[in-house]
Structure 1
Amino acid sequence: MKIFKFRIKSMTIRIWLIFTFIIIIIIFLISLLYLYSFRYIDKNNHIKDMKAYHDIILKDDDFNHPPDFTKMRNLINVENFIVNFNHGEKEIQYVNNPTNNSLPMNGSPGAKRIDWISSFAKNIKSETQFRAYYDKVEYLIIISPIKNTDSLKSYFVTYMPYYVDNKFLYEVILIGMIFIIIAFITSKLVATYISKPLKKLENYTREIADKNWVEPIKIDNDDEIGKLARSMNIMQKKLKYADENEKIFLQSISHSLKTTVMVIMSHAQAIIDGVYIDSPERTAEIIKDESIGLEKKIKQILYLNTLEYTLENNLESEKNKSMDLKDIVSDMVDKFKVVSDDIKWELETSSCIIFANEEKIKVCLENILDNALRYAESIIKIRLERNDNFAVVEIYDDGKHIDEDSIKLIFNHMYKDKTGNFGLGLAISKKIIDFYNGTIEAVNREKGVSFIIKYPLL
């Protein structure tokens, strides 16, 4: 079976063969059933006609001049005789048969056949119909007791050999062959009809795999194939959008990294050439600051690229544990206070137990706090509270509002603000929060912006 599937790679041919095979089996079974039904019905019709013929002769009580029904198809081979039993001895009495005018000679096959049939009459007390085989031929037999003036046990016998009508069998075979030919052609048409849209989908899929964004495929079917085509059109649209955004992102991030490297190289060259701003120390500080920024961008890119794997990896999930979010928030604020003497920090927290990876939660909060610190003018407020089944963290800074057109895009790793900086940190935070079935959103306040994070409580 595996070899068969391996050799026949075309779906059209496989569908064609399967349809043809199934239809042939159905026609074969129907033919067998029909032949069996015909034989059963035909045999019963022979017996009924023979019974009517038998009863007419008994009713007329004229065994020497029975009616001639031999022109009837079912009574062509019918014959009659009377058998008498006298003290154990058997005597066959001739009945004027339309097909035979004399009894067969003793010892002949016909005589032996009559002797065999008459042997059934010995123990019969009433009219009996039955079938029996003699010399590989089936016989339909009716035996009825009759009155005899000589007080003998006498029986009237009507019998007939039953042969299957081979002409009808040949007709059935011929009709079956015609239906098989029709089925063969029909199955080819059906296979072509089914496989045609599948071939279109195959070519369409190859174009998508090669990132050739062709026109959406058009299949008007409302069945599963049509639904598949519409789903593939949606898939192409999303993949095209992701591909274009990825190209833009790579071009922009490459430009950003290239600019930073150029700044570092130009200031380094300035030190070598003795042409620098203010002093060698100040130029070195600029190189250091740019290097730190470059390192941070590279780490964020690498972290974002591997984040999904580390979140879903089984080994990583073993590090998940229950923790009090209050302790993590307090530790993160203490670290940021050290580097922001000019910013006032207000902290209001309550105990909230969650189940997560502590390192990932710290990265998430660190990115949000770093963003708030970058834009805050004088104050950052942090509030942690329980709300229904969630721990809600609100991080507020009194910086400038976020454009309404951009407020829903800032968590996208493709997003770039007015200064040309990418929101990789916010994208990382959102990916972590989404993994733990939480939510994050940015809200413009009367003055400043709040980032609201929700984590499911343990």
Structure 2
Amino acid sequence: MKLQSQLTAAFTALLLVIMAVAWYVIYSLILDLLIQDEQRQLKQTGELLVNVLNQQYGTADIQQVNDILKDQDLQMFMYDRKHDQVLLSTMSNQVAREFFKNNDFADTNKTQWEYGKERFVTSRIIFLPEQSGLELILLTPVSDLQGVQQNFFTRIFFIFIIGAFAAVLISYYLTRKLVTPLSKLKRQLKKIEKRQFDDIEHIKATGEIKEVADSVYEMANELQRYMSTQQTFFQNASHELKTPLMTIQGYAEGIKDGIFTEKEAEKGLEVMVSEVNRLKVIINEMILLAKLDSEPSVYDPVKIEVSELIDQVVDRAIPFVNEKGITLRHEVKENITLFADEEKLLRALLNIVFNGIRHAESQIEINVLKKSRRILITIGDDGEGISKEVASNIFHRFVKGKNGETGLGLAIARAIIEQSNGKITVGRSKLGGAEFKINLPE
């Protein structure tokens, strides 16, 4: 069964159950309400009669009172509490005797009497003065009230039938409105499965379905970007590996065939060794990137003093700084600690600093400060900076700027920083060149 049918059936069943319970409760209470209302009306009628009799006739002339009561289209008794006897009744003597025999007229708490299989609602009104002990007792058959109840039930049954039909229509409309975006979302997922990313449409929905649809749309874009990046990666990787391999192959075949002189052969061997070392560096960095992406166990976080970490970066960068003749300044604002893999975070910072050294004209700065329980490390230089076109892809694999080496250093740095629950961005430095900002948790 489809989801829309299941939801329609569930909503309809729920509404029908609620309506059935409501009908049962109303049907059960309506008779009690009718009895209470009938008692109130009997009391009002009885009080009116008693007032008229007290004011105009009194109770001395029983026969005259009897004639007046019989003229009323009511079922009633005049009861003498002192002598426990019925003085008058609008019903036949036999019926009155049966009533008196089957019911306790002296029990003022009982509100319903029985006669045969019939029940009667009663209401008692006292004649004035109370010392007379006379009461007027009015009765109404419960069957009359049950007829009203049945008539009410018939009407409410038709109302419930209409309500049930409306419930089915409403549930169908609501479930259709709910399921339609899901059906569209299913089609978009099929397109993602077939990698038809250009045909992906943004689905209009509300609530949690909208959040899911937005997530699927973002996932499709991210997946498209990832696949494009992977394709670029393989193209770049094959190029980076192919170039040194072709150089090695050319020199090796030339030496083997005796094409090169002794001096040229020696130079060729040096080039081959250099290219082999370059291949080794590229392969090692590719392996490290793969491990960072797929093996969380290679990341071993410990508590690190940031000032000591920056000192290690400076110590390793000093020879390259002196060789290029530039200035390296660093500042750690206060005693700061963080939790990360010290060896790998040192590798990430060195990759960024060495990148800055290659592009700097005269100076490079490293600054560390703590802000809102976050640690901000900035590494800036006064070089030519990074263009917007390159900045958007600078952390991707084999994306190299001017004077770049393997194109893997910044990709490794980003992977390590993200493993540390941090984030790295690149922008314009106040020195005029590029500035890398690393945001890490305390």
Give yes or no for TM over 0.5. Answer: yes
For 1:64, what is the secondary structure of its paired residue? helix
Find the counterpart in structure 1 of residue 305 from structure 2. Answer: 322
The answer (yes or no) to whether the contact 1:349–1:384 under 8 Å persists in 2 is: yes
The answer (yes or no) to whether the contact 2:118–2:141 under 8 Å persists in 1 is: yes
The answer (yes or no) to whether the contact 1:439–1:453 under 8 Å persists in 2 is: yes
Unaligned runs of 5+ in 2: 58-64
The answer (yes or no) to whether the contact 2:352–2:413 under 8 Å persists in 1 is: yes
Pairing 1:298–2:278 present:
no
Find the counterpart in structure 2 of residue 22 from structure 1. Answer: 14
Cα drift, residue 332 of structure 1: 1.0
Q: Identify which of 232, 237, 240 aligns with 2:216.
A: 232
Find the counterpart in structure 2 of residue 104 from structure 1. Answer: 94
Cα drift, residue 397 of structure 1: 8.2
Cα drift, residue 364 of structure 1: 2.0
The answer (yes or no) to whether the contact 1:412–1:427 under 8 Å persists in 2 is: yes
Residues 419/154 of structure 1: CA separation in 2 closer, same or farther (3 Å cut): closer
Cα drift, residue 444 of structure 1: 7.9
Cα drift, residue 257 of structure 1: 1.6
d(CA) in 2 for partners of 1:142, 1:369: 101
d(CA) in 2 for partners of 1:214, 1:46: 76
Cα drift, residue 250 of structure 1: 1.6
Give deviations 1:103-144, integer Å, cap 9, x for gaps. Answer: 217xxxx74333344x333x76xxx89345677754322334
Unaligned runs of 5+ in 1: 1-7, 71-77
Alignment of 1:369-408 (within 5 A): 370-371=354-355, 381=363, 383-384=365-366, 394=379, 405-407=389-391
Find the counterpart in structure 2 of residue 425 from structure 1. Answer: 409
Q: Which amino acid aligns with 1:200?
A: K
Find the counterpart in structure 2 of residue 359 from structure 1. Answer: 343
Q: Which amino acid aligns with 1:316?
A: Y
Residues 68/259 of structure 1: CA separation in 2 closer, same or farther (3 Å cut): farther
The answer (yes or no) to whether the contact 1:129–1:143 under 8 Å persists in 2 is: no
Give the percent of matched residue pairs that are identical in Structure 1 and Structure 2.
20
Find the counterpart in structure 2 of residue 81 from structure 1. Answer: 77
For 1:159, what is the secondary structure of its paired residue? strand
Residues 274/370 of structure 1: CA separation in 2 closer, same or farther (3 Å cut): farther
Find the counterpart in structure 2 of residue 48 from structure 1. Answer: 40
d(CA) in 2 for partners of 1:53, 1:348: 106
The answer (yes or no) to whether the contact 1:325–1:354 under 8 Å persists in 2 is: no
Find the counterpart in structure 1 of residue 100 from structure 2. Answer: 114
Find the counterpart in structure 2 of residue 415 from structure 1. Answer: 399
- Equivalenced residue count is 417
Give deviations 1:409-447, integer Å, cap 9, x for gaps. Answer: 43333524478965211222244346464656465899x
Find the counterpart in structure 1 of residue 60 from structure 2. Answer: none
d(CA) in 2 for partners of 1:84, 1:457: 95
Pairing 1:286–2:271 present:
yes
For 1:412, what is the secondary structure of its paired residue? coil
For 1:63, what is the secondary structure of its paired residue? helix
Cα drift, residue 236 of structure 1: 2.5
Give deviations 1:337-368, integer Å, cap 9, x for gaps. Answer: 5xx99644655556675534321233124324
d(CA) in 2 for partners of 1:172, 1:241: 62
Q: Identify which of 228, 245, 255 aligns with 1:261.
A: 245
Find the counterpart in structure 2 of residue 4 from structure 1. Answer: none
Find the counterpart in structure 1 of residue 61 from structure 2. Answer: none
Residues 145/348 of structure 1: CA separation in 2 closer, same or farther (3 Å cut): closer
Find the counterpart in structure 1 of residue 229 from structure 2. Answer: 245
d(CA) in 2 for partners of 1:381, 1:229: 49
Cα drift, residue 157 of structure 1: 2.6
Residues 392/113 of structure 1: CA separation in 2 closer, same or farther (3 Å cut): closer
Cα drift, residue 171 of structure 1: 3.3
Give deviations 1:77-112, integer Å, cap 9, x for gaps. Answer: x522334467x6x544453x3xx4x2217xxxx743
d(CA) in 1 for partners of 2:421, 2:216: 30
Pairing 1:160–2:140 present:
yes
Residues 133/373 of structure 1: CA separation in 2 closer, same or farther (3 Å cut): same
Residues 380/424 of structure 1: CA separation in 2 closer, same or farther (3 Å cut): farther
Higher helix share: 2
Residues 302/146 of structure 1: CA separation in 2 closer, same or farther (3 Å cut): same
Residues 421/386 of structure 1: CA separation in 2 closer, same or farther (3 Å cut): closer
Root-mean-square deviation over aligned CA pairs? 4.2
d(CA) in 1 for partners of 2:391, 2:132: 119
d(CA) in 2 for partners of 1:268, 1:341: 37
Residues 239/14 of structure 1: CA separation in 2 closer, same or farther (3 Å cut): same
Moved more, 433-442 or 271-280: 433-442
d(CA) in 1 for partners of 2:389, 2:133: 116
Alignment of 1:77-226 (within 5 A): 78-84=74-80, 90-95=84-89, 97=90, 100=91, 102-104=92-94, 111-117=97-103, 119-121=104-106, 130-131=111-112, 138-146=119-127, 154-163=134-143, 164-165=146-147, 166-221=150-205, 223-226=207-210
The answer (yes or no) to whether the contact 2:7–2:175 under 8 Å persists in 1 is: yes
Moved more, 226-235 or 286-295: 226-235
Residues 65/304 of structure 1: CA separation in 2 closer, same or farther (3 Å cut): same
The answer (yes or no) to whether the contact 1:372–1:380 under 8 Å persists in 2 is: no
The answer (yes or no) to whether the contact 2:368–2:376 under 8 Å persists in 1 is: yes
d(CA) in 2 for partners of 1:218, 1:385: 43
Residues 143/180 of structure 1: CA separation in 2 closer, same or farther (3 Å cut): same
TM-score normalised by L of structure 2: 0.75
